[in-house]
Amino acid sequence: MKAFTPLRALALTLSTVACAVPAHAGKVLDSVKQKGTLTCGVHTGRAGFALADGNGNWSGLDVDFCRALAAAVLGDADKVKFVPTSAQTRITALQGGEIDVLSRNTTWTFSRDASLGLVWAGVNFYDGQAFIARKRPNLASVKDLGGATICVDSGTTTERTLAEYFRAHKLQYKAVSFDQPEAAQQAFESGRCQAYTADNSALVVLKAKQLKNPDDYAILPELISKEPLGPAVRRGDEEWFAIVKWTLNAMVEAEELGISQANIDQLKASSSEVPIRRFVGTGEDTGKHIGLDKDWSYRIVKAVGNYGDSFERNLGAKSVIKLPRGRMNLWNHGGLLMSPPLR
């Protein structure tokens, strides 16, 4: 055992002090506070994820994340400017500083993470590429689509995966690409294409809400890719990255702790459990480590609920889509969602 010298004692003291120093505000956080508004890039319109009604009110899983981030940073979930972005414009909008965060069905891939100057804060939806086709005899698998004309959205990982899958399985096909998902879907429904390929979540929404005769169509059973979707920010601002990352983690952690939009005020007033007190702001101050105040995580759940609240409202049993949680369940309920401990 090493002797406890004065020099070692000083080093230990300095280390402890360094760990206790509150985080500096990053450039993006300073900008957001100065503007008084969070600028969030979202989908141009996909039910369950990001969709504006006739009055311009946005809703969806990705919208809830934007509102949660605004609640954490600005104290008000309504202080969000939603910027609709297409598959072609979403990355450049973030790179160029037009938006503060991208929360738009965007797959976290190696090339995007490593070469585009972006960094992903986590995964809020585990998706996979699938196919929908009009029902017909002997069509039970993607491999039965050999020779088919297939509609696909351009500017997406879907195009590349489609080509790689059909080449690997020695299947012929003709791709018809469209700049807008709506155009691809219309072409598919009109019969111009025999199948349409996109993220499974998009196909579930298409069948549930948009096709005129949904029972005439089948989503084929295979998923031919893994598509982890989540919010992204520009690389280089570690403080902002930490806030965005822990906003997502807080929504997941809240569900695991049993903290919901319905009970958070009761728990804040009466809970004696250390993890819950830490989360609702009556215990240890976690906000100081990411440049926020003590109630940052309380405000997230108060404004939009935990992850499960958001999922069920937008995509699950309480929505018209009624998508099973599946892989979006918590890790201790058979799913893939897990937050690092909030402590």
Confidence of residue 156 (pLDDT cuts 50, 70, 90): confident
* End-of-domain residue from the set 176, 209, 225: 225
Given a cut of 50, whether residue 14 has pLDDT beyond it is no
- Whether 253 maps to a domain, the answer reads yes
Q: How far is CA 123 from CA 162, 226, 246, 262, 312, in A?
A: 23, 12, 12, 25, 17
* End-of-domain residue from the set 225, 246, 266: 225
CB 13, CB 4: distance < 8 Å: no
Q: Would you call 108 helix, strand, or coil by DSSP? A: coil
Task: Determine the structural domain holding residue 137 and report its residue range.
Answer: 129-225
Measured CA to CA, the distance from residue 254 to residue 293 in angstroms comes to 18
Summarize pLDDT for 30-73 with one digit per residue, the tens. Answer: 999 999 999 999 999 999 999 999 999 999 999 999 999 999 99
Strands 80-85 and 129-134: unpaired
Confidence of residue 228 (pLDDT cuts 50, 70, 90): very high
Q: What is the pLDDT of residue 9?
A: 44
Provide the percentage of residues in the chain whose pLDDT is more than 70: 93
- Whether 134 maps to a domain, the answer reads yes
* End-of-domain residue from the set 225, 247, 273: 225
Q: Same domain, yes or no, for 98 and 218?
A: no
> For the chain, how many structural domains are there in total?
2
Summarize pLDDT for 271-327 with one digit per residue, the tens. Answer: 999 999 999 999 999 999 999 999 999 999 999 999 999 999 999 999 999 999 999
Length of the chain: 343
Tally Cβ neighbours within 10 Å of residue 36. 9
- Whether 268 maps to a domain, the answer reads yes
Q: Would you call 278 helix, strand, or coil by DSSP? A: helix
The alpha carbon of 213 is separated from its chain's Cα centroid by a whole number of angstroms, namely 30
Q: What is the mean pLDDT of residues 96-124?
A: 96
Summarize pLDDT for 66-102 with one digit per residue, the tens. Answer: 999 999 999 999 999 999 999 899 999 999 999 999 9
Q: Same domain, yes or no, for 65 and 196?
A: no
Q: Same domain, yes or no, for 263 and 241?
A: yes
- Whether 6 maps to a domain, the answer reads no
CB 26, CB 67: distance < 8 Å: no
Q: Same domain, yes or no, for 108 and 248?
A: yes
The winner for highest mean pLDDT among 1-5, 155-159, 223-227 is 223-227
Measured CA to CA, the distance from residue 219 to residue 140 in angstroms comes to 9
Half-sphere exposure of 325 (CA within 13 A, CB side): 18
Confidence of residue 26 (pLDDT cuts 50, 70, 90): confident
Per the DSSP assignment, residues forming a β-bridge with 219 are 132
Q: Same domain, yes or no, for 47 and 143?
A: no
- Whether 342 maps to a domain, the answer reads no
Q: Same domain, yes or no, for 322 and 197?
A: no
- Whether 10 maps to a domain, the answer reads no
CATH code assigned at 167: 3.40.190.10
Q: Same domain, yes or no, for 32 and 96?
A: yes
Q: What angle do CA 280, 282, 286 make, to 5 degrees?
A: 70
* Residue type at 138 in one-letter notation: N
* Residue type at 109 in one-letter notation: T
Given a cut of 70, whether residue 2 has pLDDT beyond it is no
Measured CA to CA, the distance from residue 37 to residue 73 in angstroms comes to 10
Average of per-residue pLDDT values in the chain: 92
Q: Judging by beta carbons within 10 Å of its beta carbon (0-12, 13-18, 19+), is residue 140 exposed, middle or buried?
A: exposed
CB 202, CB 227: distance < 8 Å: no
Measured CA to CA, the distance from residue 222 to residue 155 in angstroms comes to 22
Q: Same domain, yes or no, for 215 and 234?
A: no
Q: Would you call 194 helix, strand, or coil by DSSP? A: coil
Q: Same domain, yes or no, for 150 and 172?
A: yes
Q: Same domain, yes or no, for 68 and 149?
A: no
Q: Same domain, yes or no, for 160 and 173?
A: yes
Given a cut of 70, whether residue 264 has pLDDT beyond it is yes
